[in-house]
Amino acid sequence: MKPKVAFFDFSSCEGCQLTVVDSLQTHLDLLDAVEIVQFREAISERGEDYAIAFVEGSITREADEARLKKIRAQATVLVALGACAHIGGVNAIKNLTPLPDVRKYVYGDKMEWYATYTARPISAIVPIDAFIPGCPIDREEFIRVVKSLLMGTKLPIPDYPVCVECKLKENVCMFHKGGFCLGPVTRAGCGAICPTYGDGCEGCRGAISNPNRDSMKNVLAEYGLTTEDILSRMTLFGAYETAKP
Ligand code: SF4
Ligand code: SF4
Ligand code: SF4
């Protein structure tokens, strides 16, 4: 019997689910290996019997919690899909501003109509078994993770910094060019795509589990930058962590 898989979304742009659809178009073999029972972006069925759940999006309303807990209770394996679900992502930018101000800015005099609270990753509500980082996720990494889950092997998510991939590509470092980059503390796996095309890494794949903070501080000091500089750059994707008291 094929493992049953379902996809769910909370607050997100749904770009990671679109990437999944894109990945499956060129990996039709995967569709032979699993049975997708729920995937709002791709099928109309709403099967509730699944073993593997991929959840995209951040939790931004108290009402989301019960739905997420129900998914957790059903799924044997729960995977956070993309930066919003994994680290809070761009939704958590609002956490840097007092919540009443944000609600007023977005909803104006109708703010009481819409319940919303501090944006958070799904792991703030339920335990997760795996994550696929990135904004959006990498299409090939998604395929590798699914295969790994099906075979019960170690998940192929790198835990070394973007700098490693960047150096292998022989890029000129953004710091040398007067720019800024979170590559030294950000999880690799994207092929250092941003520095390769001339932009500093913004940290969409989240921090590695053991970032070399001293080394990062040394790099900053060498270029006349401070810890505050790096914290302000981490707010695009890492605001959930940086806005924590
Ligand atoms: S991680 Fe990025 S691409 Fe994926 S749902 Fe969130 S905002 Fe969209
Ligand atoms: S550009 Fe960024 S990722 Fe590349 S080596 Fe420099 S700090 Fe590291
Ligand atoms: S270089 Fe940084 S911001 Fe760009 S895709 Fe990779 S992890 Fe994300």
- Ranges of each domain in the chain: 4-151, 162-242
Tens digit of pLDDT for each residue in 28-45? 999 999 999 999 999 999
In the chain, the percentage of residues whose pLDDT exceeds 70 is: 100
CB 27 within 8 A of CB 143: yes
Distance from residue 84's CA to the centre of ligand 3 (Å): 14
Ligand nearest to the CA of 192: 3
Would you say the CB of residue 12 lies under 6 angstroms from ligand 1? yes
Q: Percent helix, strand and coil across the chain, each rounded to 5?
A: 45, 15, 40
Q: What is the pLDDT of residue 245?
A: 66
Ligand nearest to the CA of 142: 1
CA distance 103 to 229: 28
Q: Would the pTM count as exceeding 0.75?
A: yes
Q: Between these two residues, 214 and 189, which has the higher pLDDT value?
A: 189
Fold that domain 4-151 belongs to in CATH: Rossmann fold (3.40.50)
Q: What is the pLDDT of residue 22?
A: 95
Binning pLDDT at 50, 70 and 90, where does residue 67 land? very high
> What average pLDDT does the segment 172-197 reach?
95
Q: What is the pLDDT of residue 127?
A: 98
β-pair partners for 35? 4
Would you say the CB of residue 88 lies under 6 angstroms from ligand 1? no
CA distance 142 to 245: 33
> What average pLDDT does the segment 65-83 reach?
98
Distance from residue 213's CA to the centre of ligand 2 (Å): 15
Would you say the CB of residue 136 lies under 6 angstroms from ligand 2? no
Q: Residue 212 above 90 pLDDT?
A: no
Q: What is the pLDDT of residue 136?
A: 98
> What average pLDDT does the segment 135-141 reach?
97
The two structure tokens encoding residue 145: 């993770």
Q: To which H or E segment does residue 9 belong?
A: strand 4-9
Would you say the CB of residue 117 lies under 6 angstroms from ligand 2? no
Would you say the CB of residue 173 lies under 6 angstroms from ligand 2? yes
Q: What is the pLDDT of residue 50?
A: 98
